[in-house]
Structure formats: C-alpha cells, structure tokens
Structure 1
Amino acid sequence: MSSSSLVLITGATSGIGEALAHRYATLGHRLALVARREDALQTVLSALPTHPAGHCAYAADVRNAPDMAQVAQRCIERQGLPDIVIANAGISAGVDTAEADDLLILRNIIETNVLGIAHTFSPFLAAMRARASGVLVGISSVAGIRGLPGHGAYCASKAAAITYCESLRGELRGTGVSVVTICPGYVRTPLTEHNGFHMPFLMSAQAFAAQAVPCIAARKSYQVIPWPMAIIARILHILPNAVFDRLAQRLPASHVPGLAGHQGNQCLRSRCRSDGSREGCTRQKKACILCAPSTHQKKRPTRGRLYYVDERG
C-alpha cells in the first residue's frame, strides 16, 4: 500500500470511522469519507491533515443501495478507484423480540450493519477485479462470536458481517482483491459510552485505529483487536452452550423498553410522535427518555441499560 493510497471509509464522522480517517490522513493517504450528515463530514474534513490531492466527502446512507452506487461513481470520477474500502458504519440498540415495535429497530440494525457492508463493497467490485487489486475491510465485532441477552439484533448483525466477509473472501480468491475482517473488542465510542457494565480491555478509538491500519496493510483475513480479546473470543467460541448460558445469565439485562427506539431526536416507534415528544406514547412509565416527561429526562440509565446509538454519521 503506497503512501498515496485512496481510502474510502463509511461512518466516518464519529468513533472508529473518525479515528481511522485521522490515522490514514496522518500517514499521508487520501480519503473519501462517507456519512449521512454533510455538516458532520465537513467538520471531520476540516480537522484532518491536508493532502496535496485533497480529501473528499460524500453524504449517503449505507442502507440505500442506489445512493451508495452513486457515491462510488462520484468517488471514481473525482478521486479514482479506492485502494481500500472500509465498511464501518453501524448502529446498536437493545432489542426485546416480545416488543412488536422493536422489530423495526432490529430491521434497521440488520439493514445498516449487514446490508450496509454489501452496499458499500458492491459498486467497487467489478473495477477492483479488473484492476486486480484492492482491499475490502468489514468492521464487525466480538459481539458476533456469541449471542448475548438483549443484544440479539446487534450480535446477529455482527455474526452475519463476519460470515459475509468470509464468503466474499472465498469468492475473490485469486482476483487480487483481498477481504479483511476486523472484530473490535470494547472501544470507547458513542456505541459503548452508555454501557452500564464492565468492559474488559476497553481501548480508545485512536488506539484501535493504530492497530487496525497495519492489519489492513498486511491484508490479514481476520483480526480481533486488541489481542487479549482475541483469546476471550476464542474461548467463548468453543464454550459448551450449557456453560455459556450460565455465564450469560449473570449479565445485566441490556434492553429497557423504550430506550432502543430513537435515532438522534427522532422516535422510531410508531406509538410516539415523529418529533420525539411525549404525546401519543402509550408506554407511560416505560416510555423512552426522549418521549418521557421533562422530569424524567434528567435520569441517566442505570447498570445494564443500553441507548440506541448510531455511528453512520
């Protein structure tokens, strides 16, 4: 990978995506940053080290395949074909399958964390094959190793991301195009800042990026970061179900009805008004924080409660 490589990153306005952008820019690479909010993209761009050829930003939602195809076309026309494409955009939420409204949250998570990867990679595949070079990077999670109570949607999406990238790697073998799967452990980002439980080997997004970039350069097919989490992940993978289930029972409940259903200030539940106000919410005391009366808005989630968090940017 040359110092002038073009790196495209989705979910580039916060957390891991932003840290990767800064890391690559510091190393002298050109960047194509993708996120939903143009203003947030411009804020990140303004803070990056400059490059003679310039960095570019593209506003799009990874759930929308036509939008991502247009991003790919614009990127190739303006900057050329990327050398590295990092599918990082993701969302997380606690989900209770017994709550009918939570099925919408599950759908959003799957569309973003799984289909979003395919929508990001697909428009570049033909050109990368023709060039016989390129690296596709899927950011998954150790949460994809085993399912955790209350995290069903997120764990399922990350497990799907791992196996999707593994399948794609086999499809592209011999073409010159590599597929790298990276599974972060606990990284200090908006996705984890509200977790009410102990997070072993918690690391900063910057520290994660410093370890991830060499893995991508080496085209490692699969890497858990940091390495101590790789040991834990391997143990979790081979644990008998009976043992794992007993351990999982000790975990705090991750889902609190109503907390999962928001994207920014917009309520995703059909029972609440789209502006996130209390009116129309039938959850009463179980209402989400954004729908609850102002007297409840000051309360912080206690141990085990999980916010709906969005890192698509």
Structure 2
Amino acid sequence: MKFTRALIALATVMTMATVSAPHAGGTVSTGSDGPFAGAIVSELIAPKPDWYTDALHTKVVAAGKQGESVPIPDAVDYPTSGLAFTGIRPGAWIIAPAGCTTNFVFGSAGNYSIGTAGHCTEVGDEVTLIAAPGVLMNIGETVKSVDNGIGNDFALIDIYPAMQQYVTPSMAYFGGPTSKGDPRFGDLVEHAGHGLVIGTGGTPRAGVVVYRGSGENGGDAFAWDGAATPGDSGSAVREATGEAAGNLTHLVVGDKYAPGVVAGTSIDRMLRIAGKPLATAPNLPNPLY
C-alpha cells in the first residue's frame, strides 16, 4: 500500500508538470461542495506527440477511411507499448487529438463504437491510435463528448465502416468485460492504460475501490486506491471478476483523499451517455475476440 501511495504522489507531480493538450482542463481545485470538495483534481491526459504533424494526420485519416494503416515514420522515437494484444479494443493507445487510452466497445458487430474520456476529445475529432507496434490507425470520429468532472466524463467514438474488421471487445491485457458491473467499496479493480511514468504503455495496474456515489455535475463516480499517470485518461476499468466498472479520468489529491486516489465515471453513467449496449467478451484474455 505504501508503494502504491508513493506512485500516486509521483503521478501527482508528473500530472501538474506535464498536462497540456488541446482539450485538457489541467489541474484544478474543487469548490466547497460535492464529494471531492477541497481536493486538487487532475485530468490524466497527455499531450499529442510533436512528431504527429498535421500533414501526417491528413495521411492517416485518408488511410483510415479506407480501412488501412500508416507506418510510424522511421525517424520517430516512441515508447514501446506493453500491451499483450493490439487493434481497436479496450486499452488501446490514443495519440491524437491527445494522449489517452480507450475504454470499452459499445454496440454490435458491424456497428461498433469505442469510448475514452470526454476531456480527451471533442465532437468532430478524428481519433488516431498506435494500434500495433509501429502502426498508426485513424479509427473514426468522436460523436459524443461529456466533460463535466469526475463521474461525468466520457466520449464515444464511432468507428469507420472500413475499420470495423479490426475491433474486438476483449480488453488489451485482461479478458472481459463479461457484463456491466457495479463497483462498490472494497472491490478489487484493474486497468491497463498508457500513463507516461509507470512502466511501458499498457502496464496493468490494480486497486481497491474506496468510494462510489455522486460525482460532479450530476455524475456517478467511483474512486480507488491505485496508481495512474498522464496518458491513462479514458482507460477501461474492470472488476477483478470480469465485469466492467467504468473508466479512469482523474487523480484526486489532498483533503480526505490524502495523499491521493484515482477516480472515474461508472459504467452506468457511461452507458447512459453512449446510448448503445456494452459489447462483452469471455473472461479469459483472447487476442482474437
């Protein structure tokens, strides 16, 4: 537990130092009302990499609409993903419009969408992944984006018809989600995101739920004692038993949450925003499902 809390403290410093992206709210102190009042709240978003230029984006978008990928330029030095499985799935690595992570797949085969955090992308943005080592894939366009604080932070990306073939509902490291969950105090949860500090992208991390209840601006929030850093925003969080718990969006530090907890939006709230059913998968990790 002390090691986990040390990682959280490190994440806090890194967040305050590095959060800067087109849709980032950065680090803010909450007001006097609500469950996170008096704490410092940080969106766990990373900047889009400098090497991903407008010209490269135009090329990747054109390829994506045809169901094709584009190689990362040879001169680019980028971190290696630690994901077990690649493609368009929960836990995939978003690099544009900002550095974030995908959460769950919604809809059904041939009509899939995928989620991330609302503060990672705005409606109309074309979203690009590093979908496999050395491979860029523009997957589709953001059609819904809610960025109203902890418990009310989710975006839905509609995937191009030509890209539907690369979608799998199963998580990038764990199996599932097997169904919609209901995270409660004491539950063990886990996620795999693309934070900048803790290991390589996609390193799996676990935590214990310490809060479930009202969020900001009418949201439905949960929080857990775990570790996360910028780039983890949007990550799919599942219960250890396989059910979807929600997404990861913020670091909360200080006041009654000292030294800090990780927080996000419940799967119930995500489903209400998405307006599409959760796509499920067997609990055993499977690169093909």
TM-score (norm 2): 0.24
Structure number with higher helix proportion: 1
Structure with max Cα Rg: 1
Structure 1 or 2: more strand by fraction: 2
